[in-house]
């Protein structure tokens, strides 16, 4: 049994902390939201009154917070000042690469081991313990990070040094945003050309246009395997979260001097879709924008 502090018990963190408790670990949980904390206690965690209280005896600290500023503040102001130096610190939030590297440097200077370990997979994968983790940490620390993440994971991959996990996450999600838009555009054109969606699905999923957005996550209802499209685009991966990741990718590209014209176009289209009130819909719903049926 390991003593784990889990900070941030929202849509993702709630299920992840529950899986650590289910694996038999002693989980001290904290969230600013009393409701989220109550749910975690129902799942076997012990409520802490503050970040400081949660981390003070922890061997492992895991955070799952909204964005870079939250992570900088929780580590800078609270975790580093109150955790034991021997504690392994793992941030699973999706944040900008610069914040991940800055927090890693602060942690290293204070004598801690730190990893950025963002995830692929949504709320259902968080609950099922089947997330894929992309880890940025020192080589020497990876085995310990992998063991700590195991109860929440189907895969734990070492991406490289500090910040590499976040870099992998935003590059992967930029590719996903672009491939989903290409998929939607192709299905919208097929429709205009009188091609049945299920026929086009069968062909594209076995031809060179094949990709995850076509074969596994088809944006057209009834055309492929069951996806959020078959449930009115509810659940799945929200447009607002895709937009967040595309913005992170564009900010990183600007700082790195990388040319990402497709990523920029994807960000602009998802921003337009979000601004029309569809931020809560699954990101594959952008098909409706490309079909010119945004009100459906």
* Contact residues for ligand NAD, defined by CB under 6 A: 7-13, 30-33, 36, 51, 64-66, 70, 74, 93-94, 119, 122-123, 237, 241, 244
Shorter beta-carbon distance to ligand NAD: residue 94 or 284: 94
Q: Which residue is it, tokens 């998802």?
A: 270
For the bound state, the minimum distance from the C-beta of residue 190 to ligand NAD, rounded and expressed in Å, comes to 29
| Helix, strand, or coil (residue 134) | strand
Shorter beta-carbon distance to ligand NAD: residue 4 or 241: 241
Catalytic residue among 169, 244, 247, 281: 169
For the bound state, the minimum distance from the C-beta of residue 280 to ligand NAD, rounded and expressed in Å, comes to 12
For the bound state, the minimum distance from the C-beta of residue 226 to ligand NAD, rounded and expressed in Å, comes to 18
Q: Is 244 a catalytic residue?
A: no
Q: What are phi and psi for residue 63, nearest 5 degrees?
A: -120, 145
Q: Do 46 and 27 form a contact (C-beta atoms < 8 A)?
A: yes
Which stretches of 74-215 are DSSP H helices?
A: 80-82, 97-109, 123-128, 142-149, 164-192, 197-204, 212-215
User: What gap in Å lies between CA 133 and CA 217, rounded to an integer?
Assistant: 20
For the bound state, the minimum distance from the C-beta of residue 294 to ligand NAD, rounded and expressed in Å, comes to 23
The separation between CA 228 and the C-alpha centre of its own chain, rounded to angstroms, equals: 18
Q: Which residues contact 23 (CB under 8 A, 6 or more apart)?
A: 150, 151
Q: Break the chain down into helix, strand, coil percent, rounded to 5.
A: 55, 15, 30
Question: DSSP string spanning 11-49?
Answer: TTHHHHHHHHHHTT-EEEEE-S-HHHHHHHHHTT-EE-S
For the bound state, the minimum distance from the C-beta of residue 6 to ligand NAD, rounded and expressed in Å, comes to 10
Shorter beta-carbon distance to ligand NAD: residue 78 or 205: 78
For the bound state, the minimum distance from the C-beta of residue 12 to ligand NAD, rounded and expressed in Å, comes to 3
The residues pairing with 4 across neighbouring beta strands, listed in sequence order, are 27, 60
Shorter beta-carbon distance to ligand NAD: residue 116 or 146: 116
b vs e for 272-290, b when ≥16 Cβ sit within 10 Å of the residue's Cβ? ebbeeebbebbbbbbbbbb
Shorter beta-carbon distance to ligand NAD: residue 11 or 205: 11
Shorter beta-carbon distance to ligand NAD: residue 119 or 220: 119
Among 231, 249, 273, 109, smallest CA distance to 174 is for 249
Which residues are designated catalytic?
A: 169
């Amino acid at each position: 049994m390991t003593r784990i502090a889990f900070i941030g018990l929202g849509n993702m963190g709630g299920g992840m902390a529950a899986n650590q408790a289910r694996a038999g670990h002693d989980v001290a949980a904290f969230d600013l939201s009393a409701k989220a904390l109550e749910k975690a206690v129902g799942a076997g965690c012990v409520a802490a009154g503050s970040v400081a209280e949660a981390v003070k005896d922890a061997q492992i600290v895991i955070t799952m917070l909204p964005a870079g500023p939250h992570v900088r503040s929780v580590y800078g102001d609270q975790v580093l000042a109150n955790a034991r130096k021997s504690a392994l610190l793992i941030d699973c939030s999706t944040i900008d690469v610069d914040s991940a590297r800055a927090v890693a440097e602060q942690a290293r200077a204070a004598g801690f081991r730190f990893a950025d370990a963002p995830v692929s997979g949504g709320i259902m994968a968080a609950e099922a313990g089947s997330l894929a983790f992309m880890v940025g940490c020192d080589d020497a620390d990876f085995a310990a990070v992998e063991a700590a993440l195991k109860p929440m994971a189907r895969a734990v991959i070492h991406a490289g040094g500090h910040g590499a996990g976040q870099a992998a996450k935003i590059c992967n999600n930029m590719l996903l945003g672009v491939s989903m838009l290409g998929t939607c555009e192709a299905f919208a054109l097929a429709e205009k050309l009188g091609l049945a969606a299920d026929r086009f699905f069968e062909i594209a999923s076995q031809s060179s246009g094949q990709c995850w957005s076509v074969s596994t996550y088809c944006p057209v209802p009834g055309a492929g395997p069951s996806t959020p499209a078959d449930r009115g685009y509810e659940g799945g991966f929200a447009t607002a979260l895709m937009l967040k990741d595309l913005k992170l990718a564009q900010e990183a590209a600007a700082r790195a001097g990388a040319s990402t014209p497709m990523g920029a176009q994807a960000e602009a289209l998802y921003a337009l879709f979000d601004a029309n009130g569809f931020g809560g819909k699954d990101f594959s719903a952008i098909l409706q924008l490309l079909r010119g049926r945004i009100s459906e």
